[in-house]
Structure 1
Amino acid sequence: MTKVLVLHSVCLVRSALAALLRSEGDFEVTSAGWRAAARQAEFLRPDVVVVDLDCPGVSAALADAGADRLLPEAPDSSPLLVLARADLPGSLRRAFRTQALGYVDKDGSPARLVRAIGKVAGGERFIDATLASAFMEADPVPLSPRELSVLARVAEGDSIAEIARALHLASGTVRNYMAAVTRKTGARNLIDAIRISRRAGWV
């Protein structure tokens, strides 16, 4: 039986997805909130970790990940499968940096998700054709990983002091990153930069 960990901050969403997987395949499914993601992955050692890129809180984690794994405490035997949207190709570029093994279009069928989990659990890469096309067509992200980290936390409502503590930066450095984000996105102000970045799928 394939062990699957479903991560989403919204209880109803993760519960529904877990119930769907239990009814569609031979899976032992556990669901958890995003804040407990790394701890649950380390404890359960699942065969596949399923993450929704629209999950609240995941944007900051994706931005922080850089070239590292999204769940650094998870064992190597827990490959990541992300659920994404073809109309937000920027999010796919961010997901690619997390070393995810599977990419499934959220507009696809449950059968496709089941097939993807089986492939990823077996160590094979799975990329939906619609997402592959979106990835190829995506414009390069103009922001550096650190700028994305700051922007993602601003978008989550964190204050400058909170961002500085979380990223181990001086408050003045955080302000400099905010100014750089506004300039690089061609935005009028930081709120406009968040709007532009969300529309592109960067955060």
Structure 2
Amino acid sequence: MTKVLVLHSVSLVRSALAALLRSEGPFDVTSAGWRSAARQSESLRPDVTVVDLDCPGATAVFSCDKRADHQVLAPPAPVLVLASTGAPGLLHRAFRAEARGYVDKDGSPGRLVRAVRKVAAGERFIDASLASAFMEADPVPLSPRELSVLTRAAEGDSIAEIARTLHLASGTVRNYMAAATRKTGARNLIDAIRISRRAGWV
């Protein structure tokens, strides 16, 4: 039986996704919020982890910075993302983090079921509509470290908090912030966060 972990911040949504999968195949499905994601991933060792890219907290799964302070999913954790064509930046981030499946949220439930089976079998699955969004997306101009710093700044962390969490000097954090501001063509850090959020990079 295929073990599936469904992660979402909204209880009703993750319960609905879990119920759908249970009704469609031999899936042993567990659903969880972000607070228990790491624990569930470690104990279950799922064959597939389903993540909604638009869900608050999802970006932590796709940190491309291998020196990040924490790990949301226990490896190996093949990830299948639910996405929309309007967030190409998030798609690129998931791709760089080596997500295995990409399902259009506007598609049919059957597409999700098929994608779970494909990813569980070690194959890739990409909806054609999302493939087009990949092609149209602008490349992410920020390095993984700059993304990590900017993401934490966007969450309201101070320079001292970011430095402590990412094991950096405060001056280094400021340098990353300045680089992110420059590379995004922003007027200041707040503008850089706004631009990056709109593009789906953070």
Normalising to structure 1: TM-score of the pair? Answer: 0.89
Q: CA RMSD in A?
A: 2.2
Aligned to 1:34, what secondary structure does the other structure show?
A: coil
| CA–CA distance in structure 1, aligned partners of residues 67 and 100 of structure 2 | 14
Gaps of 5+ in 2: none
User: Is residue 50–residue 79 contact of structure 2 (8 Å, CA) maintained in 1?
Assistant: yes
In structure 1, what is the equivalent of residue 59 of structure 2? 59
Matched, 1:200 2:191: no
Report the CA distance between 1:72 and its aligned residue.
7.2
Residues 162-177 of structure 1: matches in 2 within 5 Å? 162-177=161-176
Amino acid at match of 2:83: A
Report the CA distance between 1:147 and its aligned residue.
0.5
- 1:173–1:61 distance in 2 versus 1, CA, 3 Å: farther
Aligned to 1:50, what secondary structure does the other structure show?
A: strand
In structure 1, what is the equivalent of residue 141 of structure 2? 142
| CA–CA distance in structure 1, aligned partners of residues 81 and 157 of structure 2 | 25
Gaps of 5+ in 1: none
Residues 3-152 of structure 1: matches in 2 within 5 Å? 3-65=3-65, 74-76=74-76, 78-152=77-151
| CA–CA distance in structure 1, aligned partners of residues 45 and 137 of structure 2 | 33
User: Is residue 5–residue 31 contact of structure 1 (8 Å, CA) maintained in 2?
Assistant: yes
Aligned to 1:35, what secondary structure does the other structure show?
A: coil
Report the CA distance between 1:183 and its aligned residue.
1.3
Report the CA distance between 1:26 and its aligned residue.
2.7
Aligned to 1:163, what secondary structure does the other structure show?
A: helix
Identical-pair percentage: 79
- 1:61–1:112 distance in 2 versus 1, CA, 3 Å: closer
Structure 1 moving runs of 4+ over 6 Å:
none
